[in-house]
Structure 1
Amino acid sequence: MTRALLIVDVQNDFVEGGSLAVAGGRAVAEGITAHLRSHAEQYAAVVASRDWHHAEGTNDGHFAAPGAEPDYVATWPVHCVSGAEGAEYAPGLDTTAITHHVRKGMGVAAYSAFEGVTEDGRSLAHVLDGLGVTALDVVGIATDYCVRASVLDARGHGLEVRLLPGLHAAVAPETGDRAVREMAEAGASV
């Protein structure tokens, strides 16, 4: 079995102090770093995804329109703008073990890392298939949005998936619990 690690959206705007901060985000970043220090050699690849939204416009309605309040369901405050500090990896995440960087949401709404591409234009599925990956460990932010979407897409791609305990954080406890149940129902080990 060839296993990879997917780190979902551990970015400045999603940890404490960011424009869409998730409680516990900094602890998740530090926990992932500790996990990598003792487990990096077990992975054929360590892939990290980032929201990488355009600075101009609403990114196809993903950002709330100027003057409008975000609904926090389909529209969000401005976050993770490409090239801005908020889009950078959170400081607690040691990126030295990352082998592939995936950017998503470039001008559109995108929750799953499988909607993104590497810097050379390859999809996440293409990268994993090329390495013969059959199993994926998933960590990151936020459990109830981008982690959930990435896990469901990984299952849809036929991968064995494990959501690693303590290495993800949800926007809210209720939606986080619901997302974990949904991932388990899809066949992920949670």
Structure 2
Amino acid sequence: MARALFIIDVQNDFIEGGALGVEGGTAVANGISKLLSEHREAYDYVIASRDWHDPESSNGGHFALEGEPDYRSSWPVHCVAGTWGAEYHDELTTNAIDHHVRKGQGEPAYSIYEGTTEEGGTVHELLDANGVTDVDIAGLATDHCVRASALDAIEHGRHVRIITDLIAGVSPETSRAAIAELAHAGADLVTSDLVER
């Protein structure tokens, strides 16, 4: 049995002050770094995703280039490949990350499973190749990419834990709904102080 930590989209554009900043995003970045400094041995693999959207493109309608975004399926421009907004937040310790995943290149993508590793493979292939059965999830945003990544991990047969003090969402209402949905789907809800080998 191997365990992985998914770090979902802890990027400048999703932190306070970014294009789609989430309240509590900086605290999440700090909390994940603290977890990795104290309990890196709890994880066989640390896998981090980033939105990495194409410039000068709607990315399959993901960017509202004309009219107002609906904040459900269309959004303001964010996390454009190669820009400051797409980079990991400075408070996130990146030297503990084993695999980097980019998603949303030319199309909408919320789940880490929709991304591509630096080696060109999928997260599903990566986990299977390394015998990963258990996945902990932290990051941004609870009600969108964390939710989608966790549901996909459950669908692919992983035992999933959501680290509830290391996530933050776009809105309290939709975040609560997402957490309830994930618990109903089989995810365990834990706090970072319970993470240990």
Per the alignment, residue 194 of structure 2 pairs with none
The whole-number CA distance in structure 2 between the counterparts of 1:42 and 1:176 is 27
Output the TM-score relative to the length of structure 2.
0.95
Q: Is structure 2 residue 91 aligned with structure 1 residue 92? A: yes
* Residue 126 of structure 1, CA deviation: 0.8
* Residue 112 of structure 1, CA deviation: 0.2
Structure 2 counterparts to residues 30-41 of structure 1, below 5 A: 30-41=30-41
Per the alignment, residue 168 of structure 2 pairs with 169
Q: Is the 8 A contact 1:44 1:131 kept in 2?
A: no
Output the TM-score relative to the length of structure 1.
0.98
Per the alignment, residue 187 of structure 1 pairs with 186
Gaps of 5+ in 2: 190-197
The whole-number CA distance in structure 2 between the counterparts of 1:139 and 1:112 is 13
Query: Cα deviations across residues 23-49 of structure 1 (Å, max 9, x unaligned)?
Result: 000000000000001111121110000
Partner secondary structure for residue 174 of structure 2: helix
Per the alignment, residue 4 of structure 1 pairs with 4
**Number of aligned positions between the proteins:** 189
* Residue 57 of structure 1, CA deviation: 1.4
Per the alignment, residue 102 of structure 1 pairs with 101
The whole-number CA distance in structure 2 between the counterparts of 1:42 and 1:28 is 18
Per the alignment, residue 192 of structure 2 pairs with none
Query: Cα deviations across residues 108-135 of structure 1 (Å, max 9, x unaligned)?
Result: 0000000001112110111111110000
Flag as ranges the 4+ runs of structure 1 deviating above 6 A: none
> One-letter code of the match for 1:158?
G
Query: Cα deviations across residues 130-157 of structure 1 (Å, max 9, x unaligned)?
Result: 1100000000000000000000000000
The whole-number CA distance in structure 2 between the counterparts of 1:16 and 1:65 is 23
Query: Cα deviations across residues 83-130 of structure 1 (Å, max 9, x unaligned)?
Result: 000000011101010000000000000000000011121101111111
* Residue 56 of structure 1, CA deviation: 1.4
Partner secondary structure for residue 39 of structure 2: helix
Structure 2 counterparts to residues 1-190 of structure 1, below 5 A: 1-66=1-66, 68-190=67-189
Superposed CA RMSD in Å reads 0.6
% same residue: 57
The whole-number CA distance in structure 2 between the counterparts of 1:184 and 1:76 is 27
* Residue 161 of structure 1, CA deviation: 0.2
The whole-number CA distance in structure 2 between the counterparts of 1:165 and 1:38 is 17
* Residue 55 of structure 1, CA deviation: 0.5
The whole-number CA distance in structure 2 between the counterparts of 1:4 and 1:59 is 29
Gaps of 5+ in 1: none
Partner secondary structure for residue 144 of structure 1: helix
